[in-house]
Amino acid sequence: MQVLNFEEIYHEYWKRIFRLCMGYVNDHDAAKDLCQETFVVVFQQLPKFRQEASVGTWIYRIATNICLRQINIEKRMPKSELSDEIKDNSEKDNKLEQDKMTDFLYQCISELPELDRIIISLELEEMKQAEIAEVVGITPANVRVKIHRIKEKLTKKFKNYANR
Amino acid sequence: MQTDNINFQNIWNNKNAEIPNIQEIKSTAEKYRKKQIISTILVMLWLTVTAFGIIFIWNVINFKMVTTSLGIILILIALALSLYLFSQNINVIRKINPSISNQAYLSSLKKLQRQRLYMQTKGISIYYILLSFGFAFYFYEFALYMSTIAGFLAYGLTFLWLAIVWFFLRPRQIRKQNQKISKIIDSLETIEKDLVE
């Protein structure tokens, strides 16, 4: 069994978990809080972790479940239809095109249904579809179909965004 | 912008943030641990106080009638129950192991919420029943010493108050809890539906 060191895990996974949480809430501070919650649980449970699943699967399960349980803590955010426009403000206008696109991507993802947000975030973190299936608890075939649909949706949004 | 073949991966990885100091995590974990210990101690303490209170009233104080002691005991039990119901409302979510799959986690959350709904709605009624009987028994001994009118007045007013609580306050409390928890259950069910699609 591999010896696991919390500090190594923290530095290896923090940015990935942050992006996942950002995709879920699209709010920098809220994402940081969710990230902190995740690593607190990782820290507490690491000694008990028996490595039946890979470390990655284990951490992503914790992070995604912590995102999901937000429903219990605060009011569910009203899910608005995907808007084609990113909120305009002068600060954002000065950003590089790449950064604007990144903001737009995170905004689009955070407006998807909860599980779709999780699935596409894990896919973008280059997780294998079989592992995504393990995290979410659906079949790999189902994961493939969902990823395809979500990417189609996102591509459409980006096309509209470009043609504005 | 090139949109024929968008590389979402690159756009996604472009998001950056500073990694906070690892010490923050460790101190937050320590804070949670201490909080957990303190709340466990408080609950134990409260239960011990209640238990001793009951033993004390039953054995040490000599009310002439059993009903008086019984009344106080019922009131104490009602108070202990209300504390339990209150503590059930905080931090129960943390008790579910979060390293299971999303699907399993969602169904655990739902089960927990259903239990909570049952406890909060039934529990509130049990609390008021215990409290009403507690007062009824407790006042009996004193009412015997009062004039008939005073006795009627004491009982009448107490039960008028209890009736108001039972018929107006209790349904409102239950409705509020019901709304809050049902909303969460509904949201959970919506997410679960996406799983099977």
Distance from CA of B191 to the nearest CA of A (A): 7
Neighbours of B46 (CB within 10 A): 15
Question: Given an 8 Å threshold on Cβ–Cβ distance, is B194 in contact with A114?
Answer: yes
Q: Return the pLDDT at B60.
A: 78
Chain A residue numbers touching B15 (CB-CB < 8 A): 18-19, 22, 102, 106
Q: Tell me which residue in A15, A114, A154 faces B191 most closely, judged by beta carbons.
A: A114
Q: How do the domains of chain B map onto residue ranges?
A: 24-196
Band the pLDDT of A18: cuts 50, 70, 90: very high
In whole angstroms, how far apart are CA B6 and each of A11, A93, A105, B11, B190?
29, 22, 11, 9, 30
Span B95-153, pLDDT tens digits: 788 999 999 999 998 888 888 888 888 998 999 999 999 988 888 888 888 888 888 88
3-state secondary structure of B197: coil
> Once rounded to an integer, what is the mean pLDDT over residues A84-106?
69
Interface-testing mutation among A71, A102, A158, with chain B (most B C-beta atoms within 10 A): A71
Task: Give chain A's domains with CATH numbers.
Answer: 6-78+87-162 (1.20.140)
> Once rounded to an integer, what is the mean pLDDT over residues A141-162?
92
- Contact (Cβ atoms closer than 8 angstroms) between residue A28 and residue A102: no
Residues in chain A: 164
Residue A89 scores a pLDDT above 70: no
Q: Return the pLDDT at B140.
A: 85
Distance from CA of A110 to the nearest CA of B (A): 13
Residue A76 scores a pLDDT above 60: no
Q: Report the candidate in A147, A13, A164 with the shortest Cα–Cα distance to residue A88.
A: A164
Residue A60 class from Cβ within 10 Å (0-12 exposed, 13-18 middle, 19+ buried)?
buried
Query: Which residue is closest to A55 within chain B, CA to CA?
Result: B99
Q: pTM for the complete prediction?
A: 0.80
Q: Report the candidate in A20, A156, A64 with the shortest Cα–Cα distance to residue B105.
A: A64
Question: Given an 8 Å threshold on Cβ–Cβ distance, is B103 in contact with A137?
Answer: yes
> To the nearest whole percent, how much of chain A has pLDDT over 90?
69
Q: Return the pLDDT at B57.
A: 80
Band the pLDDT of B4: cuts 50, 70, 90: low
Of B31 and A71, the one with more pLDDT: B31
Band the pLDDT of B64: cuts 50, 70, 90: confident
- Contact (Cβ atoms closer than 8 angstroms) between residue A111 and residue A82: yes
Q: Return the pLDDT at A84.
A: 45
Question: Given an 8 Å threshold on Cβ–Cβ distance, is A113 in contact with B191?
Answer: yes
Chain A residue numbers touching B32 (CB-CB < 8 A): 40, 44
Lowest mean pLDDT among B9-13, B17-21, B65-69: B65-69
Give the separation between CA A21 and CA A18, rounded to whole angstroms. Answer: 5
Q: Return the pLDDT at A17.
A: 96
Signed CA dihedral, A41, A42, A45, A49: sign only: positive
Region label for A49, one of left (φ > 0), alpha (ψ between -120 and 50) or beta (otherwise): beta
Chain A residue numbers touching B17 (CB-CB < 8 A): 15, 18, 28, 32
Residue with tokens 């968008």: B6
Distance from CA of A89 to the nearest CA of B (A): 19
Distance from CA of B101 to the nearest CA of A (A): 5
Distance from CA of A61 to the nearest CA of B (A): 5
Query: Which residue is closest to B25 within chain A, CA to CA?
Result: A40
Question: Given an 8 Å threshold on Cβ–Cβ distance, is A113 in contact with B14?
Answer: no
> Once rounded to an integer, what is the mean pLDDT over residues A31-51?
93
Chain A residue numbers touching B12 (CB-CB < 8 A): 19, 23, 102, 105, 124-125
DSSP state of B146: S
Query: Which residue is closest to A41 within chain B, CA to CA?
Result: B29
Q: Report the candidate in A12, A2, A6, A70 with the shortest Cα–Cα distance to residue A42.
A: A6
> Once rounded to an integer, what is the mean pLDDT over residues B74-92?
82
- Contact (Cβ atoms closer than 8 angstroms) between residue A11 and residue B19: yes
CA torsion angle A18 A23 A27 A32 (round to 10) = -20
Which of A61-65, A80-84, B159-163 ranks highest by mean pLDDT?
A61-65
Span A115-129, pLDDT tens digits: 999 999 999 999 999
Q: Return the pLDDT at B2.
A: 52
The CB-based long-range contact list for B22-28 (8 Å cut-off, 24+ gap) reads: B22/A6, B22/A7, B22/A10, B22/A11, B24/A36, B25/A10, B25/A36, B25/A39, B25/A40, B25/A43, B26/A43, B28/A36, B28/A40
Q: Return the pLDDT at A91.
A: 53
Query: Which residue is closest to A28 within chain B, CA to CA?
Result: B17
Chain B residue numbers touching A74 (CB-CB < 8 A): none
Give the separation between CA B43 and CA A132, rounded to whole angstroms. Answer: 41
Q: Return the pLDDT at B91.
A: 67
Q: Tell me which residue in B9, B15, B93 faces A106 most closely, judged by beta carbons.
A: B15
Q: Return the pLDDT at B120.
A: 83
Lowest mean pLDDT among A75-84, B70-79, B148-157: A75-84
- Helices A114-124 and A129-136, packing angle to 10 deg: 150
Give the separation between CA B166 and CA B158, rounded to whole angstroms. Answer: 12
